[in-house]
Amino acid sequence: MYIECDWFSAEKIHESGQCFRWVRMPDGSFDIPAFGLRLNVKENGLNAVSLSCSESEYNEVWRSYFDMDFDYKSHAEKACSLIGSDYLAASARISSGIRILRQELWETTVSFIISANNNIPRIRKILSAICGDSGAFPSAADILNMGADKLRECGTGYRDKYLMCAAEFFQEHNVETELKGLNYANIKKYLMQIKGVGSKVADCISLFSLNCKDAFPRDVHIKRIETEHFGGRFPEELSLGGAGILQQYMFYYERVRGLRF
């Protein structure tokens, strides 16, 4: 199906470091594996996107996945005028089209445990190895069956034991149910029970899976940006309940500057 949207860039979302298994196709479209499905997304001109799914599948699955009911453009405009930072304004302008995905909780947890002390190409490579030939993302039970040794063969390094702990945790708890109704602070606290999930990783899971838009993952780049452009700390209280979105814009801005500009 075909949708019109003035804030959707598959390319930028792919490069924004929140997802690691999207596959760029030769025609510039992206194949997106999630929820046991596979969606092809192709940008069609400036304000339109073609999706390889039915309207009902879009409404049941992908609409939420892409957070289509949130007005990113208005949020960016308001935040920029309120915070009054040239750096933030430039970040939002460069990042137009980036949305915050609502990804599956288990996969997101695994992905960001692996992200610790790691870089994006390697995170992609390790996840690809863990998925193996099937391309399907392994369940918690699958990870437990693999065992630490096989995980390490996939390149996880010392994070193998953290993944095993996380798999046990997801086996023993109905995490989705236990998180239901919790606010961001309690979600973060809950997630940090898992070995290998610290403050930053918990924020990534909160933001990129559970859509807690207040979560503000502080990695080394964001810390440097805060020092250089915001006198030490980003003014979260001014961010309209969406500091995490702005974090994502600034992160993307730094990333593409490093790559291309």
Partner DNA sequence: ACCCAGGCCATCT
Partner DNA sequence: AGATGGCCTGGG
> Which residues are catalytic, by number?
200
Of the candidates 97, 138, 155, 242, which one interacts with DNA according to CB under 7 A?
155
When asked if residue 199 is in the footprint of DNA (CB under 7 A), the reply is: yes
Q: What angle do CA 164, 166, 172 make, to 5 degrees?
A: 105
When asked if residue 122 is in the footprint of DNA (CB under 7 A), the reply is: yes
Of the candidates 116, 129, 179, 256, which one interacts with DNA according to CB under 7 A?
116
When asked if residue 201 is in the footprint of DNA (CB under 7 A), the reply is: yes
When asked if residue 62 is in the footprint of DNA (CB under 7 A), the reply is: no
Q: How far apart are CA 261 and CA 259, in angstroms?
A: 6
Report in angstroms how near the CB of residue 147 gets to DNA at its nearest: 14
Of the candidates 8, 14, 16, 21, which one interacts with DNA according to CB under 7 A?
16
- Cβ-based nearer residue to DNA, 39 or 202: 202
When asked if residue 17 is in the footprint of DNA (CB under 7 A), the reply is: yes
Residue window 76-115: x/- pattern of binding to DNA, with contact defined by CB under 7 A: ------------------------------------x--x
When asked if residue 244 is in the footprint of DNA (CB under 7 A), the reply is: no
- Cβ-based nearer residue to DNA, 29 or 115: 115
When asked if residue 197 is in the footprint of DNA (CB under 7 A), the reply is: yes
- Cβ-based nearer residue to DNA, 78 or 255: 255
What is the C-alpha end-to-end distance of the chain, expressed in Å?
Answer: 35
Of the candidates 91, 200, 210, 234, which one interacts with DNA according to CB under 7 A?
200
- Cβ-based nearer residue to DNA, 112 or 234: 112
Exposed / middle / buried, residue 237 (Cβ in 10 Å: 0-12, 13-18, 19+): exposed
Q: Which residues bind DNA (CB under 7 A)?
A: 16-18, 112, 115-120, 122, 152, 155-159, 162, 192, 194-202, 204, 208, 217, 219-221, 251
